[in-house]
Structure 1
Amino acid sequence: MSTSQLSTAKFKNISIQDIKLGMFVVSVTRQTGDIEFKPGLVSSATTCRSLRSMGVLEVKIDLTRSKHQQEEILENPESNLAPSPQSQEIMSSFEKAEARKQTQKLYAEAKTLQTKLLASLKKGEVVDIAPLEEMADELVDSIFTNPDAMIYLSRIRDKDTYLMEHSLNVGMLLANFGRYLKLSRQMIKELLVGGLLHDTGKVMIPDEVLHKPGRLTPEEFDIMKTHVEYGIQILDKAEGITKTMRTVLANHHERLDGLGYPRGLQGLELCLVSRMSTIVDVYDALTADRCYKKGMQATQAFRILLQGSGTQFDELLVSKFIKCMGIHPTGTLVKLKSGKLAIVIERNDSAPLQPVVKIIYSTVGKHYLDVKMIDLARSPTEEIECAVDPKEFGIDISKFF
C-alpha cells in the first residue's frame, strides 16, 4: 500500500459493539456519558467492557497503530506491535474506572443488606449470618483489589442513615486496616462482619435518646451505653458468630486506661481486635455528619486519635491506621496552592502528601472546571495547601466518583 493510500485509510469510525482486541482507539466520537479519554490500545476484554459500561457508543481507531489489521495495511507487519507505556497506562485507567463502577454497585448492595438487617432486628428476629458472610466475601475481594474506591465511598454520607452507614463503614475500614496489617483473609472477613454487627444493639435504644440533637444527660448516656449489652444478647442468639465478630461488638467502646464500657477492660485485657475496633469506630464517628453536629475532616480526626494515644488508644496502632488511610484519605476534598479544589482519588504510599487527585473547581473564579486527573507526585506546579469541607463550596463529592 502506498503512503498516500495509507494516509487516507488511516482512521476509521466503528461502533463500540465492533471493537476488537488490538485496536488503537484515538478518540470517542459518540457517547452517552462524559468520560475523560486519551488514546490507547485495547489490550484486554476488561477494556472493552469498560468502554461500553461508561456509555461509549462509537470510537475512532487508528489502523496504522492497531494490531488486528496491521498485516493488511503495513508492509512490515511486525512494526509497532508493542503497546507504548502510555497505552498501557491508559488501559489501566479504563480498568480502574470499571473497578470503581463495580465497587459502587457492591457498596450499594451492602447498604441495602445492612438496612434489611436493622429492620429485621427491630422486629426481634435473629441475625442470619449467611448473607452477611456472602457479602463480606465480595467486599473483602474489592478491598484487596481497589481499597481506594471503598474508602472514597465511605466518605459519601447521609446523616439520616447514620446507624446503617456507620456500621457498614466501620466494617470496611476494619477490613482495610486488617489488610494493611497483613492479617489472614479469614480474619479480615470476620472483622468486616463484626463491623457490620457492632452497633446492632442500638435498635433497642429509644429514638429520643438515640437521635437526640444535642448532648446527652448522664442518665441518657447510661441508657445509650446499654447498646453494647443488647448487642451481645443479639449475637448470642445467632449461629455462626465467631470470637472475632463478638469481640468487635463487645469491646469497641473499651479503652486502654480502663475508662471505657461496658466492662472497663484495660491494658493487656484488650486484644488486637479490640484495639483496632476502638480506633476505627471513633474515627468514623468523628468524620460523619450527625443530626446534631457536622463531621470533621480526616486530618482533624487523626489529630484526636493521636491526642488519645496511650490512654484511650493503642499508640502504635493509631500510627499504623493513619498510614493505612493516608494523610489525605481518598474522597477528601483538598485545596491546592493554585486555588483549585481537587478530590483525592488514589493514595501515594511513597509520597503521602502527593496523591492522585481530580481537579474540579476554582476558588478564584468560583466556578467548576473541566475535570482533570493529575498525579501530584509528577506535577511541579500543583501542591496541596489544606483539606476543606465540600459543603463550604456546595460540592457533592459523590458526583465525581
Structure 2
Amino acid sequence: MISASPHPVIAISSLKPGMFVVAIISQRGDMEIAQTGRVNDERQIAALVTRGVLRVRVDLSRSKLAKASPPCTAEQPDSSSLSMTAPQGLRVPGEGRELKIRRLYQEARELQGKFIRQLKAGEPIDITSLATVAEEMVDTMFSHGDAMLCLARIRAKDAYLMEHSMNVAILLANFGRYLGLERSVLKELTLGGLLHDVGKIMTPDAVLNKPGKLTDEEFAIMREHVVHSHDILKATTGITPTMLEVAANHHERLDGSGYPRHLKGEQLSLYTRMSAIVDVYDAVTADRVYKQGMQPTQAFRILLKGAVTHFDEGLVTRFIKCMGVYPVGTLVLLSNQRLALVMQRNELAPLKPLVKVIYHATQRHYLEVHLLDLAKASVNETIESTVDPKDYGITLAHFI
C-alpha cells in the first residue's frame, strides 16, 4: 500500500515500471544507485530484487505509472532512467553505514532539486521532507561526521548550486556540533544551508555562469540573489528566523563591506558569522566551469587573511580546528611517495589521520587500495604536503 506522502517508502514488491526512485532505503546487498531516475521496465525491478534491495523511496510527482517509458537501450539512452553500479574503492567494516549515508546525501540532493523545480514552476512548496532529511543529516554528523564530510568533497561543475548548498549545510552542521550548539539549532542551520542560495534561480544564467569577471552591473544583479532567497523563504511555511538569517546574511561582513544590508560588528549574530565563513570556504574550494577550486589549506589562508575585517577571527580559528589540519577528503602526499585520501581525522594527533592509499606519485600508477592509520606506532609514513588530484588525473569520487 502506497502512502499519501509525496515521497513514500515502499517495498520492492510494490515497485512498478514508471515509478521515479529517489533512494534505496534498505537492502541485503551492496548495490548503489549511481543516479536517481525512473524505472523503465520489469527487468530493472528484477535486477534490484536480485541485488537484495528491500525498500525504496519514490517520488510520486515524477512517476509516470499510466505510461511507462520504453526499455532503455545502448543506442537510445534515457537520461532520466535509474542507473545502478557497484561501489568503487575499498570495502571496509561498517560500510553498510556508509551506504546509508550516501543514500541520505542522495535523498537530500533529490529533495533540494524538487524544491527548486517547484519554485521555478510556481507550484505549492512544502519543506517537510527536506526538514526531515536535515534532521537525519544532523544525527549522522554526530555518529559518522567524517563520512558526511567526505561526501562534501564530491563535486560536479554542472551542479554547483545544489552541491554548494549541500556542502554548506554539512559544514554548518559540523561547525555547529564542534561549537556545542543544541541539536535543534543544528537542524535549523542545516536546513538553512540547504536553502540559503535558492534565490539564485532568479539570477539570469548568463550572469550566474559567466566564465569570467562580472561587470559592476552584472555583480549588482548577482547580489540580488540574497534578497530573492530571503523573500522566497520568508513566504515559505516552516522557515524559522535562524534559517532566514543564514539565507539573508551569509554575504554580510564584519566591517560592513558585505551585502545586501551592509550589516557590521555586533549586528552580525553567531549564525551569520558562521554562515559567512562556511559559505566562502566551500565556494573557493569548488571547481567551477570557469575556475579551478583551491585546496582546503589555501582556503584557510583566505579566511585567515580576511579575519577581523571580514570574518570573526576567533570563529575562523575554531573552524580551522574543527576541519583539521588535513580536512577529510583531502589528497595528501606521503613520505614514501604514495598519494592517500584523508578519510578520518585524528583529534589527538591532527598530523596523523586515517588515510586511504590509492596511487604512486613518482611511478604514476594506481595501487591496491588500503587504509593506513598514520597514528599507529608501526607506521613510519608521514604526510609531506597536500596535493591537487587534478595534477594526477585522479577523480576523488571513485575512492570516497
- TM-score under structure 1 normalisation? 0.76
Check whether the contact 2:373–2:379 (CA below 8 A) recurs between aligned residues. Answer: no
Structure 2 residue 291 is the aligned partner of structure 1 residue 301:
no
Aligned residues: 316
The Cα shift of 1:327 comes to 1.3
Corresponding residue number in structure 1 for 2:332: 334
3-state secondary structure, aligned to 2:154: coil
Which of the numbers 349, 359, 376 marks the counterpart of 1:351?
349
Corresponding residue number in structure 1 for 2:387: 388
Q: Counterparts in 2 of 1:276-287, with a 5 A limit? A: 276-287=274-285
Check whether the contact 1:126–1:238 (CA below 8 A) recurs between aligned residues. Answer: no
Corresponding residue number in structure 2 for 1:400: 399
Corresponding residue number in structure 1 for 2:243: 245
The change in CA–CA distance for 1:291 and 1:52 in structure 2 (over 3 A counts) is closer
Which of the numbers 95, 100, 103 marks the counterpart of 1:102?
100
The Cα shift of 1:198 comes to 0.5
Which of the numbers 238, 258, 261 marks the counterpart of 2:259?
261
Partner Cα distance (1:113, 1:367) in 2: 39
Check whether the contact 2:189–2:246 (CA below 8 A) recurs between aligned residues. Answer: yes
3-state secondary structure, aligned to 1:257: coil
Task: Identify which range, 116-125 or 284-293, moves more after superposition.
Answer: 116-125
Partner Cα distance (2:287, 2:384) in 1: 24
3-state secondary structure, aligned to 1:295: coil
Corresponding residue number in structure 2 for 1:176: 174
Runs (4+) off by over 4 Å:
49-52
Corresponding residue number in structure 1 for 2:12: none
Residue type matched to 1:119 in 2? R
Gaps of at least 5 residues in structure 1 are 1-48, 58-92
Partner Cα distance (1:396, 1:235) in 2: 36
Partner Cα distance (1:233, 1:118) in 2: 14
3-state secondary structure, aligned to 2:355: strand
Corresponding residue number in structure 1 for 2:123: 125
Partner Cα distance (2:337, 2:27) in 1: 33
Partner Cα distance (2:149, 2:355) in 1: 14
Alpha-carbon displacement from aligned partner over 1:191-242 (angstroms, at most 9, x marks no partner): 0000011101100011100110111001100000001111111012111111
The Cα shift of 1:54 comes to 8.2
Partner Cα distance (1:164, 1:308) in 2: 26
Corresponding residue number in structure 2 for 1:185: 183
Q: Counterparts in 2 of 1:9-158, with a 5 A limit? A: 53=30, 94-95=93-94, 97-158=95-156
Task: Identify which range, 373-382 or 259-268, moves more after superposition.
Answer: 373-382
Residue type matched to 2:102 in 1? Q
The percentage of counterpart residues that share the same residue type is 56
The Cα shift of 1:248 comes to 0.1
The Cα shift of 1:127 comes to 3.6
Check whether the contact 2:281–2:300 (CA below 8 A) recurs between aligned residues. Answer: yes
Give the greater-gyration-radius structure (CA).
Answer: 1
Task: Identify which range, 201-210 or 100-109, moves more after superposition.
Answer: 100-109
Check whether the contact 1:126–1:237 (CA below 8 A) recurs between aligned residues. Answer: no
3-state secondary structure, aligned to 2:362: coil
Check whether the contact 1:171–1:195 (CA below 8 A) recurs between aligned residues. Answer: yes
The Cα shift of 1:111 comes to 1.0
Corresponding residue number in structure 2 for 1:69: none
Partner Cα distance (1:213, 1:127) in 2: 32
Alpha-carbon displacement from aligned partner over 1:246-282 (angstroms, at most 9, x marks no partner): 0000100000000000000000000000000000000
The Cα shift of 1:298 comes to 0.3
Check whether the contact 2:253–2:262 (CA below 8 A) recurs between aligned residues. Answer: yes
Gaps of at least 5 residues in structure 2 are 1-25, 33-50, 52-91
3-state secondary structure, aligned to 1:385: strand
Check whether the contact 1:50–1:94 (CA below 8 A) recurs between aligned residues. Answer: no
Corresponding residue number in structure 2 for 1:234: 232
Partner Cα distance (1:398, 1:262) in 2: 36
Corresponding residue number in structure 2 for 1:210: 208
3-state secondary structure, aligned to 1:345: strand
The Cα shift of 1:101 comes to 1.4
Task: Identify which range, 132-141 or 300-309, moves more after superposition.
Answer: 132-141
Residue type matched to 1:261 in 2? Y
- TM-score under structure 2 normalisation? 0.76
The Cα shift of 1:94 comes to 1.6
3-state secondary structure, aligned to 1:377: coil
CA root-mean-square deviation: 1.8
Corresponding residue number in structure 1 for 2:316: 318
The change in CA–CA distance for 1:274 and 1:369 in structure 2 (over 3 A counts) is same
Alpha-carbon displacement from aligned partner over 1:55-103 (angstroms, at most 9, x marks no partner): 9x9xxxxxxxxxxxxxxxxxxxxxxxxxxxxxxxxxxx622x2221111
The Cα shift of 1:124 comes to 2.8
Partner Cα distance (2:112, 2:228) in 1: 18
Corresponding residue number in structure 1 for 2:371: 373
Task: Identify which range, 340-349 or 100-109, moves more after superposition.
Answer: 100-109
